[in-house]
């Protein structure tokens, strides 16, 4: 299940210290007893239906990555979460945890304004968790600048083309790049400025495709 392209139509996680997608969530219950299904009628549902429910309950988010300080010298990449109980389902029962524990990685999109935040987060995962990650979203911002040589985008825009080939994300299927391009100062030719932005998008798309062969790519302008 991939998240919708437009984050305005998506459950977008923002900020909370609870339930980071970092593999630390674990069930509080012990191994299921013979009466587990009696106390959890949900577990009597067909496995396919349970998986559909898990996906709807745990998926469809865009998790925004940030760096948190563990202490004054150590930072940790975390997926912030606007709902303090977003992963609470995993804590209700050990069988539910066993069946659904990897779905948060497979059914959500992970976003970062800085590539380094996403990279450090990916490194912190176990191989099993990394292999379940299906979708990443990068955020790029730049300015269209007019000079005597014509129009171009600010050089810093090209400093880091998203490249995830060495991150160990064997299951990655989709990369989204959200681009914001603003005019720097007044533009004498608005039509040329718009054409320049479209050229920048096309060039970025080609560059990301070269760096990440075989992954579906979606590049779109937020502004």
Shared domain for 89 and 145, answered yes or no, is no
Shared domain for 107 and 147, answered yes or no, is no
For residue 222, pLDDT beyond 50: yes
Number of domains in the chain: 2
Shared domain for 150 and 113, answered yes or no, is no
The string of pLDDT tens digits covering residues 51-68 is: 999 999 999 989 988 877
Q: CA 98 to CA 198: how far, in whole Å?
A: 46
Closest CA to 61 of 113, 2, 116: 2
Mean pLDDT of the chain: 80
The string of pLDDT tens digits covering residues 4-39 is: 333 333 454 443 333 445 545 556 544 444 455 567
Give domain status of residue 34, yes or no: no
* Confidence at 82, pLDDT banded by 50, 70, 90: low
pLDDT given for residue 21 in this prediction: 59
Give domain status of residue 170, yes or no: no
Shared domain for 126 and 63, answered yes or no, is yes
pLDDT given for residue 85 in this prediction: 78
pLDDT given for residue 1 in this prediction: 35
Shared domain for 122 and 147, answered yes or no, is no
Shared domain for 55 and 117, answered yes or no, is yes
pLDDT given for residue 15 in this prediction: 38
Shared domain for 129 and 75, answered yes or no, is yes
For residue 83, pLDDT beyond 80: no
The string of pLDDT tens digits covering residues 158-201 is: 887 788 888 999 999 999 999 999 888 777 788 888 889 999 99
Which is more confidently placed, 136 or 159?
A: 136
Shared domain for 54 and 118, answered yes or no, is yes
pLDDT given for residue 16 in this prediction: 38
SS3 at position 98: helix
Shared domain for 94 and 152, answered yes or no, is no
Contacts of residues 126-129 at CB distance under 8 Å and 24 or more positions apart, as own/partner, are: 126/23, 127/168, 128/102, 129/23, 129/102, 129/105
Shared domain for 46 and 121, answered yes or no, is yes
Closest CA to 212 of 79, 118, 148, 82: 118
For residue 108, pLDDT beyond 80: yes
Q: How do 74-79 and 135-147 pair as beta strands? A: unpaired
Shared domain for 69 and 118, answered yes or no, is yes
Which is more confidently placed, 92 or 186?
A: 92
Shared domain for 121 and 51, answered yes or no, is yes
Domain residues for the domain of 70 are: 39-133
């Amino acid at each position: 299940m991939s998240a919708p392209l437009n984050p305005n139509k998506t459950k977008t996680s923002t900020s909370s210290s609870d339930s980071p997608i970092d593999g630390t969530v674990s069930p509080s219950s012990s191994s299921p007893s013979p009466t587990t299904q009696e106390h959890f009628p949900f577990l009597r549902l067909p496995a396919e239906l349970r998986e559909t429910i898990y996906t709807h309950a745990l998926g469809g988010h865009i998790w925004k990555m940030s760096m948190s300080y563990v202490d004054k010298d150590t930072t940790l990449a975390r997926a912030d979460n606007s709902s303090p109980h977003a992963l609470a389902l995993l804590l209700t029962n050990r069988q539910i945890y066993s069946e659904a524990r990897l779905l948060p990685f497979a059914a959500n999109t992970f976003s970062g304004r800085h590539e380094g935040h996403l990279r450090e987060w990916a490194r912190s995962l176990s191989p099993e968790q990394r292999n379940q990650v299906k979708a990443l979203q990068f955020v790029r911002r730049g300015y269209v600048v007019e000079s005597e040589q014509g129009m171009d985008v600010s050089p810093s825009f090209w400093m880091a083309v998203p490249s995830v080939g060495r991150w160990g994300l064997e299951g990655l299927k989709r990369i989204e790049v959200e681009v914001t391009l603003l005019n720097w100062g007044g533009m004498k030719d608005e039509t040329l400025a718009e054409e320049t932005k479209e050229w920048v998008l096309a060039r970025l798309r080609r560059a990301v495709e070269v760096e990440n062969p075989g992954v579906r790519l979606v590049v779109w302008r937020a502004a």
